[in-house]
Amino acid sequence: MSDAPRRILLDCDPGHDDAIAMLLAWGSPAVDLVAVTTVAGNAGIENVTRNALGVARVAGIAGIPFARGASRPLVRHVELAPDIHGDSGLDGPALPEPALELDPRHGAQLIVDTVMAADPGEITLVPTGALTNIALAARLEPRIVPRVREVVFMGGGVGGGNWSATSEFNILIDPEAAHIVVNEDWPVTMVGLDVTHRALATPEVRARIDGVGTAPARFVGELLDFFGVTYLASQGFVHPPVHDPVAVAAVIDPAVLELRAAPLDVELSGTLTLGMTVADLRAPAPEGHRQRVALGIDADLFWDHVVDALERIGDPA
């Protein structure tokens, strides 16, 4: 069983880096992508759901359910990111028409059904957007919590934010959901800005991706072209960071990240610190602590996995 692929459910808001996360999850032999759910974030729910289905067509993803999830945060107004991802959430490349039908269930219900239908400890949840669907699923059916193997989410950070001085976008747009998720009694790994800001699409990385020579690889190149321009204009990055696939890579290969067990919580009431992820690194965590934060990354190894996944996907018919 230790050599079997990890079964993962990807909860996302495509989003340029979410799209790369989908491709990585589908192309890697180390994980088995069992379902995809969408959540409002980088764009509205209709757009991100359309984007997810379009990316599925690019990658040849088939045989798994896709479901539309939450259209707004638990408590707050919707906040989107057109300055980074464009109005569609995936500006730049031309997306093909979807070939998959949406599952009729709400995304949170699909999460519940997937976890309950699997053996305990079998399903890993990998959210790469706001944590709304994950929180809703945990409240809708609390029995999923002890059955989930782990929640590995892209969001937050120990050393500061990108949507405010202290807070990262995915957490800040629905901090109440994030608070629920990190405080549930399941293993949680935070893959935050401390590591994703070092997963940069440099010219050397682009050359490797371009060298794959397939339609999905060209699609990733087009994603990075648009993403690079907006990230330079909005946040000053010469080479764009690709946040979301780092969370998938953390499940594929534990060697990609340096992880540390640490008490973790989310600030809900600070005037200047709303949505801040607070990790207590003052001392070693207690034995058996179930919260971990990512502090270091092997960026070359991360990109090895992305390129390998693109090669394995090939050119879907």
Q: What is the pLDDT of residues 147-167, one digit of tens each?
A: 999 999 999 999 989 999 999
In the predicted model, is pLDDT for residue 12 greater than 80?
yes
Asked whether residue 3 carries a pLDDT value surpassing 90, the answer given is no
Q: What is the pLDDT of residue 149?
A: 98
pLDDT of the residue at 317: 67
**204 CB burial (10 A radius; 0-12, 13-18, 19+):** exposed
**Is the pLDDT confidence value at 74 over 50?**
yes
Are 149 and 121 contacting, i.e. CB atoms less than 8 angstroms apart? yes
199-234 tens-digit pLDDT: 999 999 999 999 999 999 999 999 999 999 999 998
In angstroms, how far is CA 167 from the centroid of its own chain?
A: 17
Q: Tell me the pLDDT band of 1, cut-offs 50, 70 and 90.
A: very low
Mean pLDDT of the chain: 96
pTM over 0.85: yes
- Rounded Cα distance between 302 and 307, Å, is 9
Question: ∠279-196-51 over CA atoms, to 5°?
Answer: 115
Judge whether 250 and 191 are in contact, CB under 8 Å. yes
Work out the percent of the chain whose per-residue pLDDT is above 90. Answer: 96
208 within 8 A of 305, measured Cβ to Cβ: no
**Nearest Cα to Cα of residue 13 among 244, 295, 280, 285:** 244
Residue range 58-67: mean pLDDT, rounded: 97
Q: In the predicted model, is pLDDT for residue 2 greater than 70?
A: no
- Which has more confidence, 135 or 84? 135
Compute the distance between CA of residue 69 and CA of residue 88 in angstroms, rounded to an integer. Answer: 17
Q: Within a 10 A sphere around the Cβ of 83, how many other Cβ atoms?
A: 11
Residues with catalytic annotation? 243
pLDDT digits (tens, 9 = 90+) for 156-202: 999 989 999 999 999 999 999 999 999 999 999 999 999 999 999 99
In 3D space, the residue among 242, 294, 249, 301 whose CA is nearest the CA of residue 84 turns out to be 242
Please, are residues 78 and 114 in contact by the beta-carbon 8 Å criterion?
no
CA 283 to chain centre: 29
Give the domains, in start order, of the chain with CATH numbers: 6-312 (3.90.245.10)
- Average pLDDT of 45-58? 98
**What pLDDT is recorded for position 18?**
97
Is it the case that residue 19 has pLDDT exceeding 80? Answer: yes
